[in-house]
Amino acid sequence: GAVVSQHPSWVICKSGTSVKIECRSLDFQATTMFWYRQFPKQSLMLMATSNEGSKATYEQGVEKDKFLINHASLTLSTLTVTSAHPEDSSFYICSARDRAGNQPQHFGDGTRLSIL
Amino acid sequence: AQSVTQLDSQVPVFEEAPVELRCNYSSSVSVYLFWYVQYPNQGLQLLLKYLSGSTLVKGINGFEAEFNKSQTSFHLRKPSVHISDTAEYFCAVSDEGNAGNMLTFGGGTRLMVKP
């Protein structure tokens, strides 16, 4: 079946560091990718929708300059958490939708971000 | 706007007992419905989906769900659970017409299977 690879799976870094998370669709072309944030024991909250070749659409309350999203190809989207602080610590999950959009989104395994 | 409510945040159950995880939704348009499972520190795995047709949907790992339009519900059931079913379960909806559309998730239900 369709596979979405997310990397890294876990990252720990100092406050003020910028961290890049990659989301790749391995065997299909993902015209749309979604980025979610999940706090401990909570549900997934959509942060932004990324369409290949265009600017991402951010949900209300999500800082565009803080969470930079790039979707430069049909198989790769990146989320960069700029100047990360402890409050940015969370579990970030991406999902990808194929070109036809006929099947449910395929999810990556998530990235646990811990900012010291 | 859509919303999804999972009525139980935690469901403890003994191994081999049946279980039902409840999900209700609200939407001004017709929807597609999904159940996902999340194991610790992992992403989401699709259990089953309702797009159209039979309202009783069978999924992986012995789970099934029934779409009830009049009650706007999509409860998940399994007749006999295993220890390995311990996980977080999320119900989600998207607009009908495109199953890859933006998902709205419920708050999740933690299923705890005890020996």
pLDDT over 70 (residue B37): yes
**pLDDT band of A58, cuts 50, 70, 90:** very high
Q: How confident is the model at residue A72 (pLDDT cuts 50, 70, 90)?
A: confident
Give the strand order in the sheet containing A76-81: A4-7, A19-25, A76-81, A67-73
Chain B residues with CB-CB distance to A109 below 8 A: 42-43
Q: What mean pLDDT is predicted for residues A41-47?
A: 91
In Å, what is the CA distance from A32 to each residue of A46, A96, B34, B35?
A: 13, 6, 19, 21
The model's confidence at residue A53, banded by pLDDT at 50, 70 and 90, is confident
Would you list which residues of chain B are within 8 Å, Cβ to Cβ, of chain A?
32, 34, 36, 41-46, 49, 90, 98-103, 105-108, 110
pLDDT band at A1 (very low <50, low <70, confident <90, very high): low
| Beta strands in A1-89, from DSSP E residues, in sequence order | 4-7, 10-13, 19-25, 30-38, 44-51, 57-58, 67-73, 76-81
CA dihedral B23, B25, B29, B33 (to 10 degrees): -20
Weakest mean pLDDT among A74-78, A101-105, A112-116, B14-18: A101-105
Provide the pLDDT for residue A102: 65
Write down the mean pLDDT value for chain A: 91
* pLDDT value, residue A27: 87
